[in-house]
Amino acid sequence: MLTFGETMVALRGSGPLKLGGTMRVSVAGAESNVAIGLARLGHRVQWTGTVGADEAGELVLRTLRAEGVEVFGATVDPGAPTGLLLFEPRLPDVTRVHYYRAGAAGSRPAAAAVERAFATAPPRVLHLTGITPALGPEARATAALALRLARRHATSVCLDVNFRARLWSAAEAAGVLRDWLPFVDVLIASADEVPLCLPGPDGTAVDGAAARLLDAGVGEVVVTHGADGATAYTGDGGPRHQGAVPVRAVDPVGAGDAFAAGYLSALLDGADVAGRLVRAVTTGAFAAAAPGDWEGAPTRAELALLAAPPGTVVR
């Protein structure tokens, strides 16, 4: 399993940034979040990308290694810093995220990183997100190279749309995502992201849009509905829906990445669509119930914990 994208240093504050205070240092990035989630579930997974030749880059690589993620294919850019993001809890249920990634190493990943990852051992699955191509032309070109290498090596491709309006416009995203569709085997998108993947009116119902995506060659379309769970569409039978696992939400950041990790984990295990959805909503719930992007991701042995009644103490 291979993920490719940008990982940054993450600073999490306890309140408004303008008031100062302490911040907790960690790392974050959609693709590395998925990699950590898969590693915790017992899968062999590699993250590749580019970090700066700085202490922040060392923290990224050290953290991923500590979580069991292989990073031998990653590259270091001596001419650009590792990216930074700041989390600012502004209200009990509202967090603002501030990015400092323009010109960072992750926005200009070396093609050699992706080429080395495929040359060493072609992965069964390549996971990409719509964040990477939004970082700039170099990142977009390297992601496109990864898609071509995946096809050459018969590697399945999972694309999580992960649209970020602060990085690029909907029109720009749609242009790239639609070009990528012929390479995609598994598409993950929220209901409001699905229209980005298809030409036509935005008002198209999700069921109809999913059917068009399947007709376009996507193997399966997984549509997330937040607290209402997720629905998977395949060419085998009708849509399958799975409700979310109810938890006391602490931090929604990273829940979508955990969902993707759970879905891919079950896919790698050979589970059917229903089993993939169950694991995906379970891992997503774990992430939402803990602070941080990836810190709450469960191990395989912990998956059953959400079924325990409130107040349970595991001894």
Q: What positions carry a catalytic annotation? A: 257
Angle at alpha carbon of residue 79, lines to 75 and 82, rounded to 5°: 65
* Structure token digits, residue 303: 């998956």
Cα distances (Å, whole numbers) of residue 152 to 51, 146, 208, 238 = 27, 10, 31, 31
Whose structure tokens read 């990445």? 257
Task: Return phi, psi of residue 313, to 5°.
Answer: -115, 120
Q: Is 18 exposed, middle or buried (0-12, 13-18, 19+ CB in 10 A)?
A: exposed
